Every structure is written in C-alpha cells, then in structure tokens.
Amino acid sequence: MELWNLMSIILLLGLTLRWTVSLNSYSGAGKPPMFGDYEAQRHWQEITYNLPVKQWYFNTSDNNLQYWGLDYPPLTAYHSLICAYVAKVINPDWISLHTSRGYESLEHKLFMRSTVFFADLIVYISAVFFYGFYLNKSSEKKKVFNVLCMLVYPGLILIDYGHFQYNCVSLGFTLWGIISFAYQRYLLGSLAFVLALNYKQMELYHSLPFFCYLLGKCFSKGIKGDGLVLLVKIAFTVIASFALCWLPFLTTEQIFQVLRRIFPVDRGIFEDKVANIWCSLSVLLKIKNVISLQTQLKLSFAATLLSVIPTCIKLTIHPNLKGFIFSLVNCSLSFFLFSFHVHEKSILLAALPVCLLLNETALMSTWFLVASTFVGIIILVECQV
C-alpha cells in the first residue's frame, strides 16, 4: 500500500510540473510570420481538417509548405486531425483555413497545452507506471526512484511543455514496445514500435536494436522451426501495421512526396538550430561548402553505420533485455552524433533507454540525464531569441 501511495504522489508531482511549465509563454508567441512550433502544431490541425488527405503533404494554394508544412509521418497527421475535430467543436476559428494563422488567445493556449498533457498521460506516463510496477524487479525504493526520475526528467518536460512538442507520444510507444518484449510479446512490441516510427521518423534511431533483438530471438528459436514461424509473424505484423498507417498514401506519388517531407535531404547535413558532430567540425572545416550533398549523405551514413555495427552484432548473437536497452542507448547516441540533419531534441531518444538503466548504472545515467537537460534549455533559449 505504501508503494501505491508513493507512486500517487510522484504522479501528482509529475503532472504538476508539466502543467506549471506549460503556464509559461511558448516559442514564437507574438512573433510573425512563423510564430514558432506552437503555431506549427495548430497549423497542422488546420490543414488536416480542411484539406483532403491527398493534399496534406503537397504544396498547393491552400497548403504553403514553406509555412509549417507537414514534415512528420502519417500518424502525426492523424493525431492533428483528431485534435482538430475537438477544436472545431470548441471554437471553429482556431482551425479556419488561412484566417487562423498565428491565432493566439488564452483559451486556445489552454486547449493546445491540454492536447500535449493528455497525450502524455495516455501514452508515455501510463507506460512509465506499468514499467515501474510490473517490469522493474528492483526493491520498492529503487522502483520509486526510477519512476520519479522518468516522470520529472526536465529534458522531456522542457521540450514538450516549454517549447511545444509531442515527443511523449513516440517515446511512449517505444517504451510500450520495450515492455512488450520483456513479456515476450514480440508481435505487440513490433506493433508499438511501428506506431512510434510512424509518429516521428526520428525513432529510426531505435530501429536497429529493435530489428536485431527480434532477429536474434528468431535465430535462438531455430531458423527452420519456431524461429521461422516467429519471423514470418513479425514480418506480417510490421508490414500490415505500416500499410494501415500509410493506407491513404499508398500511391507512388504520395509515398515519395511524404518521404521527401519527412527526410529533408535538401537542407544539407545540418542547419539552423540543428546540430551534431558535423556542425561542431564545421568550426574547423566548412563541410557544407567543400563537400557535395551526395558525399555528405554517404559520409554521414558510413560514420553512423560503423559506430552501431558492434553493438548490433552482439545483440543479434546474444539477444537479452539488458543488452537490448544498452544497444538502444548506443545506437541512439551514434545517430545523434553522426547521422544526417540532427535536431537537438533527438537527445530524448537516448534519454529514454538511459532512464531504464538508472538501477544498473545510477551515477552515469543521472549525469547523462542532467547533461541532456541542457539541450532542452538551449532549445528554449534559441526559440526565445
């Protein structure tokens, strides 16, 4: 009973912190012509509600892609559409085509903040508590500590509630995938990760550990016996899940346009407010000026691949949950450092599995989470300038 009481207090603390941060102003408030990420999320509601699906990712007279065009996978668009239906009931002016650009009011701010709050509660926070109660086999004291750190981790709160994002959704689906694997529910875990990947393409950072872990489990069961059956079931689950998510976009033209939007290769290896090792090296060598775009892509791909190969091979040969979580940390950090066009908020993809290692490596994990919090602060400062 004491554990339930402590967890209830932690939940209230986590929710209070989130709502307190959301009371502050948001990036881009009162700053035309773009108005910040808050306006981006509102604009996507406007677009998805007022335009047919086939126009969501295309530049048209009603959908200027230079003004916060959709650049996330279909599940994000569907989420925006659901929020738009709710907004329409409350106040149609919030999502009226063209005339709602830059809409600002106290009521609308409350609505937009609530959409993040409830998405967080339903997907991410529920996964954290399930993990804390049922998957974490540590002592009650360590369970409380682990859940507390995951719920009050400042990096996620600052970016989702201070800056305005929905990273909690993709991270929550990923955590549900990890939990499912722990219970040997490989099909359910595959479905959860497909949802995460179709919500934010940055979940590709976690894709190799998920793939290698599942492949290793299939090998361990015998590739000509139960392993082959499991492999076929997983493949069918992944393909069917992707097909359902992309159902309105399953034409060649639509698929390539969506891919162009979610993978902005033309922007170069890095840009404003986007940083990793390539941005740091540009202090000494102007990579974007001396190396062609195609070479940048190849260099980024090669560096990322080389840095993840060892942990992926080990995970495939010895698939276990602890190794899987360590591999998630390694691969997400490799992508963060070396991959193409990395945003600072991508550090959250490494922070999630690090949170799961708090009982294994408490000191290092805590220091990492503290350091990664500064990334969230940097985003807030940049967006307020």
Average pLDDT over residues 310-334: 95
Beta-carbon contacts of 220 under 8 Å, excluding residues fewer than 6 positions away, are 227, 319
pLDDT band at residue 7, thresholds of 50, 70 and 90? confident
Q: What's the confidence (pLDDT) of residue 267?
A: 73
Question: Which pLDDT tens digit goes with each residue over 136-158?
Answer: 677 778 888 889 999 999 999 98
Question: Which pLDDT tens digit goes with each residue over 209-227?
Answer: 999 999 999 999 887 888 9
Q: What's the confidence (pLDDT) of residue 23?
A: 87
Q: What's the confidence (pLDDT) of residue 117?
A: 95
Question: Which pLDDT tens digit goes with each residue over 78-111?
Answer: 999 999 999 999 999 999 999 999 898 999 999 9
Q: What's the confidence (pLDDT) of residue 34?
A: 82
Residue with tokens 């791909």, as numbered in its chain: 301
**Closest residue by Cα to residue 172 from 211, 209, 217, 125:** 125
Asked if 331 and 311 count as a contact pair (C-beta separation under 8 A), the reply is yes
pTM: 0.94
Quote the percentage of the chain above a pLDDT of 90: 63
Q: What's the confidence (pLDDT) of residue 30?
A: 78
Between 3 and 57, residue with greater pLDDT: 57
Which range (41-45, 184-188, 357-361) has the least confidence? 357-361
Distance CA 158, CA 27 (A): 11
Going 318 to 210 to 338 to 280, the CA torsion angle's sign is negative
Q: What's the confidence (pLDDT) of residue 174?
A: 97
Q: What's the confidence (pLDDT) of residue 27?
A: 73
Q: What's the confidence (pLDDT) of residue 200?
A: 95
Distance CA 109, CA 286 (A): 41
Asked if 383 and 376 count as a contact pair (C-beta separation under 8 A), the reply is no
Asked if 268 and 300 count as a contact pair (C-beta separation under 8 A), the reply is no
Residue 55 confidence (pLDDT) above 70: yes
**Closest residue by Cα to residue 203 from 159, 249, 172:** 172
Residue 378 confidence (pLDDT) above 60: yes
Q: What's the confidence (pLDDT) of residue 343?
A: 79
Distance CA 167, CA 159 (A): 8
Residue 385 confidence (pLDDT) above 60: no
